[in-house]
Amino acid sequence: MQTNLFIDGAWRPAADGRTFAVEDPATERELARVADGGAEDALAAVAAAGKALPAWSARSPRERAEILRRAFELMIERRDEIAHLIVQENGKALRDAVGEVMYAAEFFRWYAEEAVRALGEMSTAPNGANRILVQLQPIGVSLLVTPWNFPAAMATRKIGPALAAGCTVVLKPASATPLTALAIAEVLAAAGVPAGAVNVVPATRSSEVIGAMLRDSRIRKLSFTGSTEVGRLLLAQAAERVVSCSMELGGNAPFIVLDDADVDAAVHGAMVAKMRNGGQACTAANRFYVQRGIAPAFVTRLVAAMAALRMGNGLDADVDVGPLVNAEARDKVQELVEDAVTRGARVRLGGRTPAGTGFFYPPTVLDAVPRDARLLSEEIFGPVAPIVEFDAEHDAVRLANDTEYGLVSYLYTKDLARGLRLAERLDTGMVGLNRGLVSDPAAPFGGMKQSGIGREGGHDGLLEFMEKKYLAVEW
Ligand code: NAP
Give the pLDDT confidence of 215-245 residue by residue, as tens digits: 999 999 999 999 999 999 999 999 999 999 9
Nearest CA to ligand 1 atom 23: 226
Does domain 5-249+451-473 match CATH 3.30.2130.10?
A: no
Question: What confidence category does residue 247 fall into, taking pLDDT thresholds of 50, 70 and 90?
Answer: very high
pLDDT of residue 6: 99
Residue 92 clears pLDDT 90, i.e. is over it: yes
- Mean pLDDT (the chain, rounded): 98
Separation in Å, CA 249 to CA 35, 108, 409: 27, 22, 15
Q: Cβ contacts of residue 220 below 8 Å, gap of 6+?
A: 139, 140, 141, 142, 243, 244
pLDDT tens per residue across span 41-60: 999 999 999 999 999 999 99
Phi/psi region, residue 221 (left: phi>0; alpha: psi -120 to 50; beta: rest), is beta
As a whole number of angstroms, the distance between CA 188 and CA 103 comes to 16
pLDDT for the residue 274: 98
DSSP states along 25-65: TTTTEEEEEEE---HHHHHHHHHHHHHHHHHHHHS-HHHHH
Q: Where are the alpha helices (DSSP H) in 308-380?
A: 327-342
State the CATH architecture for 253-440: 3-Layer(aba) Sandwich (3.40)
* Res. 474: pLDDT tops 90: yes
What pLDDT band is residue 475 in, cutting at 50, 70 and 90?
confident
What are the sequence ranges of the domains in the chain?
5-249+451-473, 253-440
Give the residue numbers marked as catalytic: 248, 282
Long-range contacts of 53-56 (CB under 8 A, 24+ apart): 53/138, 53/140, 53/141, 53/167, 53/168, 55/194, 56/163, 56/166, 56/167, 56/168, 56/194, 56/197
Ligand 1 nearest atom to the CA of residue 203, by list position:
47
Q: How far is the CA of 435 from the centre of ligand 1 (A)?
A: 26
pLDDT tens-digit readout, 410-459:
999 999 999 999 999 999 999 999 999 999 999 999 999 999 999 999 99
What pTM, to 2 d.p., does this model score?
0.98
Q: Is the pLDDT of residue 374 over 90?
A: yes
Distance 354 CA to ligand 1 centre (A): 27
Nearest atom in ligand 1 to the alpha carbon of residue 146 is 9
Does the pLDDT value for residue 191 go beyond 90?
A: yes
Distance 225 CA to ligand 1 centre (A): 6
With a Cβ cut-off of 6 Å, ligand 1 is lined by 145-150, 154, 172, 174-176, 204, 206-207, 210, 225-227, 230, 233-234, 248-251, 282, 379, 407, 447, 452
Q: Which atom of ligand 1 is nearest to the CA of 148?
A: 26
Q: What is the mean pLDDT of the segment spanning 274-282?
A: 97
- pLDDT > 70: percent of the chain: 100
Q: What is the pLDDT of residues 305-360, one digit of tens each?
A: 999 999 999 999 999 999 999 999 999 999 999 999 999 999 999 999 999 999 99
